[in-house]
C-alpha cells in the first residue's frame, strides 16, 4: 500500500493550507467571539473551488477526488472549524446527493451554481423530535397534481440561515416507514420556506444553523430528488460521505490543538527545564500523536473507498465511514482535552485558542450521526463479517 499523495492531492492540500493559514486563521478567533457569518471566506472558498471539490469540472466543480476533499477539510478546519463545516455541508450533503441522484435538469439548475460557489446549500433531515431516529420524521409532502405541498419543520440545519436551497426529506407515505420518505429540493424564496434566527451553540459559532419551517410550501414534481420512497436511502448514502467530512473536520481541530501544545511544551519551563523534558508531558504527546495518525489513516481509507464507489455504485462504505467518524471525533475530544491540560491555566483562558478547539471538537461526536449511532452502523457491518 502506497501512502504517498499524488501531485494533484498535494497541490490541493497546499492550496487549502495556504488559504487556511493566510486568510482563515487570522479571522478565526474573532469569528468565534462574535459569531459572525464568514461571508467573505465562503465566497473565497467558492473562488478556490472548495465548495464542490469532488464534483466533475463540467458540472462546475473542482474535478478532484474524495481524498483531496478530505485533505482540504482537514486544513481548513485546523484554522477554523466553523468555516470547515460550512464547506463540508455544501460538498457532502448537498452537491453529493445532487450529483448522484439528481436529474440532468436538476444538475444544471442547482448543482452547477452550488459546486462553483455561486450558491450555497443546506440539508434538512433532523427534526425537533427525530435526530438519531431519522426515518421517524413528521414533515410531510403531499402530492397535488404536478406539485408537492410540504409542511413541518427541520432543525439544527447548518448553513440554514444563508442557504440558497435545501435538500429536504419528507414523509410521503406514513404506512411505509423508511420507504415512505422522499427527498425534494426547495429553493430559498419559495413561499412557505421559512428559515429562523441562528441557534446559540457551545462552539462552531460562525457556522450558523437554524430551524426551518415549511408552511404549505409548494415545489414542482421536477424538484423531487430521486424516486418517490427513495429518500431515506438517499439520506443514508449521503451521510456515508458526510461522515468522512466530519471526521476530517475533527482531525483538523485536533491537529491544531496538538501542534500548539507541542510548541508550548518546548517553551514553557517548570522545575528548571522545558516541560517537554518531563515524561508526564512526553506520554501525553505520544498518545496524541498516535491517535492523530490512526484517525488520518481511517479517514484516508474511507475517502478512497468513496472514490471507488463512484465507479462501483454497489460498493457500500457505511462501516468504514462510521469508523473514521467515530474514532476521529472521540479522538478530537480526547486530544483537545490533553492539549488544554498541557497549557494548564492558559489553556482555560480566552486569550489562547485551546478552549475554542475544545468546544469546537465536541459537536463532531454529535452531528451527522452521534457516536452511539456510529457504533450501531459499525456493529451492523461487523456482525455481517465486515471490517
Beta-bridge partners for 213? 153, 194
Does residue number 261 form part of the binding site for ligand CAA (CB under 6 A)? no
Does residue number 125 form part of the binding site for ligand CAA (CB under 6 A)? yes
Question: Which one of the spans 28-36, 137-145, 237-245, 251-259 is the region binding ligand CAA (CB under 6 A)?
Answer: 237-245
Strands 165-171 and 224-225: unpaired
Nearest to 324 by CA among 256, 236, 245, 384: 245
Q: Which of 52, 226, 369, 381 binds ligand CAA (CB under 6 A)?
A: 369
Nearest to 164 by CA among 206, 232, 117: 117
Grid cell locating 281:
508531558
Does residue number 236 form part of the binding site for ligand CAA (CB under 6 A)? yes
Q: Which is nearer to ligand CAA, 86 or 354 (CB)?
A: 86
Does residue number 203 form part of the binding site for ligand CAA (CB under 6 A)? no
Grid cell locating 323:
469508523
Residues 318-337 close enough to bind ligand CAA by CB under 6 A:
318
Q: Read out DSSP for 349-379?
A: STTSSHHHHHHHHHHTTTTTS-HHHHHHHHH
Q: Which of 126, 153, 171, 364 binds ligand CAA (CB under 6 A)?
A: 126
* Per-residue interface string for the shown chain with ligand CAA, residues 264-303, x marking contact by CB under 6 A: ----------------------------------------
Q: Which is nearer to ligand CAA, 69 or 343 (CB)?
A: 69
Nearest to 44 by CA among 78, 13, 20: 20
* Per-residue interface string for the shown chain with ligand CAA, residues 159-188, x marking contact by CB under 6 A: -------------------x----------
Phi, psi of 282 (to 5 degrees): -60, -40
Q: Which of 72, 166, 256, 373 binds ligand CAA (CB under 6 A)?
A: 373
Residues 61-90 close enough to bind ligand CAA by CB under 6 A:
89
Grid cell locating 87:
464547506
Q: Which of 289, 294, 376, 379 binds ligand CAA (CB under 6 A)?
A: 376
Q: Which is nearer to ligand CAA, 135 or 182 (CB)?
A: 135
CA–CA dist 168, 231 (Å, integer): 9
Among candidate residues 307, 365, 368, 372, the one labeled active-site is 368
DSSP conformation class of 94: I
Whether 351 is catalytic: no
- Whether 344 and 281 have beta carbons less than 8 Å apart is answered as no
Question: Which one of the spans 107-115, 193-201, 212-220, 372-380 is the region binding ligand CAA (CB under 6 A)?
Answer: 372-380
Q: Which is nearer to ligand CAA, 116 or 181 (CB)?
A: 181
Residues 6 or more apart whose CB falls under 8 angstroms from that of 296 comprise 74, 251
CB of 357 to ligand CAA, least distance (A): 18
Q: Which of 135, 181, 291, 333 binds ligand CAA (CB under 6 A)?
A: 135
DSSP conformation class of 93: I
Q: Which of 101, 123, 327, 358 binds ligand CAA (CB under 6 A)?
A: 123
- Whether 96 and 123 have beta carbons less than 8 Å apart is answered as no
Q: Which of 53, 86, 115, 134 binds ligand CAA (CB under 6 A)?
A: 134
CB of 262 to ligand CAA, least distance (A): 30
Does residue number 5 form part of the binding site for ligand CAA (CB under 6 A)? no
CA–CA dist 360, 362 (Å, integer): 6
Exposed / middle / buried, residue 354 (Cβ in 10 Å: 0-12, 13-18, 19+)? buried
Count of CB atoms situated within 10 Å of the CB of 135 = 18
Strands annotated E in the chain: 121-124, 140-144, 147-158, 165-171, 181-187, 193-195, 209-220, 224-225, 269-270, 273-274
Nearest to 238 by CA among 180, 168, 177: 168
CB of 198 to ligand CAA, least distance (A): 13
Nearest to 21 by CA among 99, 85, 79: 79
The count of residues interacting with ligand CAA (CB under 6 A) is: 24
**Contacting positions for ligand CAA (CB under 6 A):** 89, 123, 125-126, 132, 134-135, 156-158, 178, 232-233, 236-237, 239-240, 318, 367-369, 373, 376-377
Q: Which residues are catalytic?
A: 368
Amino acid at each position: 500500500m502506497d501512502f504517498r499523495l499524488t501531485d494533484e492531492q498535494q497541490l490541493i492540500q497546499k492550496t487549502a493550507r495556504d488559504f487556511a493559514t493566510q486568510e482563515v486563521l487570522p479571522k478565526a478567533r474573532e469569528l468565534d467571539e462574535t459569531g459572525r457569518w464568514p461571508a467573505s471566506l465562503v465566497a473565497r472558498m467558492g473562488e478556490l473551488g472548495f465548495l464542490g471539490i469532488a464534483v466533475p469540472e463540467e458540472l462546475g466543480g473542482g474535478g478532484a477526488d474524495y481524498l483531496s476533499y478530505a485533505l482540504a477539510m482537514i486544513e481548513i478546519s485546523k484554522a477554523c472549524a466553523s468555516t470547515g463545516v460550512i464547506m463540508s455541508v455544501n460538498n457532502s450533503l448537498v452537491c453529493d446527493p445532487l450529483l448522484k441522484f439528481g436529474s440532468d435538469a436538476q444538475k444544471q439548475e442547482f448543482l452547477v451554481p452550488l459546486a462553483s460557489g455561486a450558491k450555497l446549500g443546506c440539508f434538512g433531515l433532523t427534526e425537533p423530535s427525530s435526530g438519531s431516529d431519522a426515518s421517524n420524521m413528521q414533515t410531510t409532502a403531499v402530492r397535488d397534481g404536478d406539485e408537492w405541498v410540504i409542511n413541518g419543520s427541520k432543525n439544527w440545519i447548518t448553513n440554514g440561515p444563508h442557504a440558497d436551497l435545501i435538500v429536504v426529506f419528507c414523509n410521503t407515505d406514513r404506512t411505509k416507514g423508511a420507504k415512505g420518505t422522499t427527498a425534494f429540493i426547495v429553493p430559498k424564496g419559495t413561499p412557505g420556506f421559512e428559515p429562523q434566527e441562528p441557534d446559540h451553540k457551545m462552539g462552531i459559532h460562525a457556522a450558523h444553523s437554524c430551524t426551518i419551517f415549511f408552511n404549505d410550501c409548494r415545489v414542482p414534481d421536477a424538484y423531487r430528488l430521486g424516486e418517490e420512497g427513495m429518500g431515506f436511502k438517499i439520506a443514508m448514502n449521503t451521510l456515508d460521505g458526510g461522515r468522512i467530512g466530519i471526521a476530517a473536520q475533527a482531525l483538523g481541530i485536533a491537529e491544531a490543538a496538538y501542534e500548539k501544545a507541542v510548541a508550548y511544551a518546548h517553551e514553557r519551563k517548570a522545575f528548571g527545564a522545558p516541560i517537554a523534558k518531563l515524561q508526564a508531558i512526553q506520554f501525553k504527546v505520544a498518545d496524541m500523536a498516535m491517535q492523530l495518525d490512526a484517525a488520518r489513516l481511517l479517514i484516508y481509507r474511507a475517502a478512497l473507498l468513496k472514490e471507488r464507489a463512484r465507479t462501483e455504485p454497489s460498493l457500500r462504505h457505511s462501516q468504514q465511514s462510521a469508523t473514521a467518524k467515530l474514532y476521529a471525533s472521540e479522538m478530537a475530544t480526547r486530544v483537545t482535552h490533553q492539549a488544554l491540560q498541557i497549557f494548564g491555566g492558559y489553556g482555560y483562558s480566552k486569550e489562547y485558542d485551546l478552549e475554542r478547539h475544545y468546544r469546537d471538537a465536541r459537536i463532531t461526536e454529535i452531528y451527522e450521526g452521534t457516536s452511539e449511532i456510529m457504533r450501531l452502523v459499525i456493529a451492523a457491518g461487523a456482525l455481517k463479517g465486515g471490517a
